Amino acid sequence: MKVCLISYIPEGEKIAAIAAKSTQSLNPPSKLDASEKAIERILKHVIEKQHSSVLNFPYYIFSFEGVSRVFTHQWVRYRIAAHLQQSLRYVEKRCEFVIPPTILRKGKDAVVTYLKNQKQCFENYRRLLKLGIPKEDARFALPSGIKTHIISVMNAHELLHVFSQRLCYDAQWEIRIACHALAAAVYLTSPKIFYNYGPACISKNICLGRSEGACKDKVLSIIEKVKERVDSKRDIFENMERGKEIEIDLTDILGFRVDNKIKECVKKEFGDIEIDYEVKVCVRKI
């Protein structure tokens, strides 16, 4: 999985703070300014008081790559956003599938069984195409685990709402990992807005899941590790030229690397297939 932050408002935090400030000022927003300390103070107040309109101004355009259609079926439920996804009708797919870490952890037999099923589905898809079945109908043979990509745009308020739901351990694993990676990207560009991101147990001190707060320490540990990794790259990012990209590998925190013995078995039967579940974040400086 790769999450790419493609675009954002460069001074989104400042714009949001000025917008908030203008509601209590005789001067219009175009005549106002705010120091870094003032921006931090205003945004913290806005977030604590849940003045959501202020956080509608900063927006973020990002893509998820190498994710399953299981994930995208969940992701597009967020409607305070816009989404465009790779079409299975116009794009003849390659034999690439997301392998859930639960299958990877189970060992060789589970991985081989899964890949055999996926490969057979793909072969059936190609056979249907050769028989003259239209792509829009042949795609019915493809499984939900097939890799795809999707681009979305959301504002800061909606992203905080998404994180409050999907970083919870009750959320499905792929969308949870995707949101951890996305949170890393927006935290790099807007730390004053996303300083306290997390599931509701962290951001609002309310457990909305079924564990009654039992997983709070676990998710907090992950968020702290992600933030530490991002903060270690912050100076590099701030000194980069606009248009350049920075990549942050979070595989050791969020992903899973497969034992070499399992890789060798898979290679013998299926050829060169990437089965590690890597998680990377890419941010383009605007």
- Set out the domains of the chain in order of their start, with CATH numbers: 2-99+144-259+276-284 (3.30.1360.170)
pLDDT of residue 197: 96
List of the chain residues with pLDDT < 50? none
Contacts of 191 by beta carbon, 8 Å cutoff, 6+ apart: 234
Active-site residue numbers? 166
User: 147-173 pLDDT, tens per residue?
Assistant: 999 999 999 999 999 999 999 999 999
User: 200-211 pLDDT, tens per residue?
Assistant: 998 888 888 777
Instruction: Record the pTM.
Output: 0.95
pLDDT of residue 89: 86
Handedness of CA 124, 125, 129, 130 (dihedral sign): negative
pLDDT of residue 91: 80
